[in-house]
Chains A and B, each alone.
Chain A
């Protein structure tokens, strides 16, 4: 009989204890799996999100940050200059504000919304049209401000393409004295970066300027640039040379910044909790195997007396550990997966977090890492029981067993 077979029989000998051990490893393994998914989940999901937006370079003012952006001085001429660069395929200007959205004939204070003003090229990447059409590429004189509204706003306010609404921008820190402007919904679109609980509308830069009662100067706080294939670095360098006073960030740099700041909390939590779960797994397996060995010292001593070498006893215990960890670890994957879905749903409800951003993301390497960590823990946990079983004094143990 192989060491594996003997280990299996030994485990099957105490089914209740083995089931409890497997259940314990399953729960611990599920938590470990979750923590491993969390450790890189935000990073992977965020990369997917910004890559899917279709732009590989972001230009922002030197002051502020990617989240709290300052206006870019002379954004219109910057846009012209960047658009002329041979490495650049397309670009769009982005400006954001908050506003009050009112539906004519509907009572109440209206809807507070986030307004994104773009030059239009963001369609299909920053938002996806669900119904109606996207923003026009240029303003049509005399026409109301064109508006894309999120599905939630459309549903709440019963808006459809063609519906007319009123928009009043807020001025930070004061009661807004800006006038209401008439806007017309041209489409309903899902916004890639919209957070849970946020209500977003998009319009053209000119439309936003009109709402601000400001000249249509293409004022922006970010320029999104899509470079030609393979020309990302050259494009970024060329833009930086054009305007050394601005920050030009590739997607990798954006991700790196988020990874070092916002995401590092989750990574640290994941590391601490992963270590804790591994410690629990170690203690659980080591305790169970030690108890098991202590209960059958006589058998072990007899096997040694019959000529079974130490390595065979060690192999049996290693296999026992591997079986408990293997079965529990395998069961932990679906359990952990389900738990990750639930936790992800909860975390994505956090304010300010884009609903398309996931905290728990599966990667094949997570499975490998999960197996390796649990495997290593199983081996470590078996070391003490192995030492106990292989170093026991055979004669003294047999004598003690007879006397007991």
Chain B
């Protein structure tokens, strides 16, 4: 049996609030393999994003265990988790979070530079990715000069920059109209076909319908798979 990219067992996330402890995620177990395309849906506040953040190693579970490519995430240092995020996980956010002072090209190139790629490799990979998302002609445009759909495509290219094993997307179509959202969903299909596992948190049924697996959450728990 292949080692999963990521496997969480009994993942629980609690937050101490003035009114008492709130459990945002309660004993969720999930396994994502290299061939998976998983959609997570559910009402607002059900713990979808919390689960995604834990899977993406940007948050830590209060209880349970998480292994990324066989390594126990809880035992890793902050620096090691950062390295995993940089080189093995790609993140796509609802609000894109492109650096506004950089061009599309520079936004895609930045994570590669941080990962230590050579200039020649960066140039080749960035050109390839902008072509992949159909924005070669917009390479020198800054985010403010791009449409929402174009910004999200740049963000996807940035997420793929270091050839991650897993792409995590948190409401990637949340800021986009239906047609542009469909284009982004099509792009995710292509990314998956090209060998990257995807976990997408979405409210968009059309996006969820494209995934191979569909988890439905409610009140911090997975109620249907």
Contact = CB atoms under 8 A, between A and B. Distances in A.
Interface of A: 1, 6, 9-10, 12-13, 298-299, 301-310, 312, 393-395, 398-399, 401-402
Contacts of A395: 49-50, 53, 58-59
Contacts of A398: 49, 53, 58, 93, 170
A299 B97 contact: yes
B49 A399 contact: yes
Interface SS, B side: helix
A283 B15 CA distance: 35
A305 B85 contact: yes
Nearest to B49: A399
A47 to B, nearest CB: 52
A319 B12 CA distance: 39
Contacts, number: 83
B106 interface: yes
B58, B99, B158, most chain A CB atoms within 10 A: B58
Contact of A305 (B50, B56, B79, B83): B56
Contacts of A303: 99
Contacts of B83: 307, 309
How big is chain B's contact interface, by range? Answer: 35 or more
19 contacts: A1-B102, A9-B99, A9-B101, A298-B97, A305-B56, A306-B86, A306-B91, A306-B158, A306-B159, A307-B84, A307-B85, A307-B86, A307-B162, A308-B86, A394-B59, A395-B58, A398-B49, A399-B49, A402-B174
Contacts of A6: 99, 110
A13 B101 contact: yes
B195 interface: no
A304 B95 contact: no
B100 interface: yes
* A-B interface, 4 closest residue pairs, ranked by CB to CB distance from nearest: A307-B86, A302-B97, A307-B85, A395-B59
Contact of A304 (B50, B58, B110): B58
B111 interface: yes
